Structure 1
């Protein structure tokens, strides 16, 4: 172990990364962050990563962003609304650092699609989900 004391978050990221057979560099490249940042997180040098870093890592570790935020020490607050759940994260001072609102935005734009997307994420096999993501990314890139 380094001179830094590993944190719960650092151990968690390292464990998941190694389970996925990813090097620190590979994870960093997938997430679009520096491999030094991944090293800092895993060793405990970086104790309070930004929500943006955690948001970038979550899909490549295949964990929920909210779970990383809580492991990083952000306080989560759940607000239940009629058609969505909103997550608010605060730092130790009580300052809001992030609010997950996408479900509402997606629902407001197209409630049928929002419901379908939820079912797809919960009910389809990972390979089917990956195929849908590939098609969606292709369409999004075509329209840029």
Structure 2
């Protein structure tokens, strides 16, 4: 397994939050992508286009702090449900094994599949209520 990292969700202020974290940890964002940069067929709400779809900030020791503005269609942010454990897998096979194993008895939020950003990605809540993201990045083989 390549890495396990925290993934934080916010209700529209992710850019402010991550600029604060950047001022504390230092460094530069690896990625800062907005919903409006998504391919047209994936955009569901144009009013969300300036919000952060994904941001990643290396914080040392191989750890990366990641986050996004939670789309309104996912429901309101409640303290305690605004984070995921994000696993960066080393292969599609490992991603599939982890996704299938950890999601058993839970609720799949986004099926594990190839994404437009060049990854094999899925999201789910396990049977204990823990929120997970599984990702294999084809560009980092």
TM-score (norm 1): 0.28
Task: Choose between structure 1 and 2 for higher RCO, CA contacts under 8 A separated by at least 6 residues.
Answer: 2
TM-score (norm 2): 0.28
Higher helix share: 1
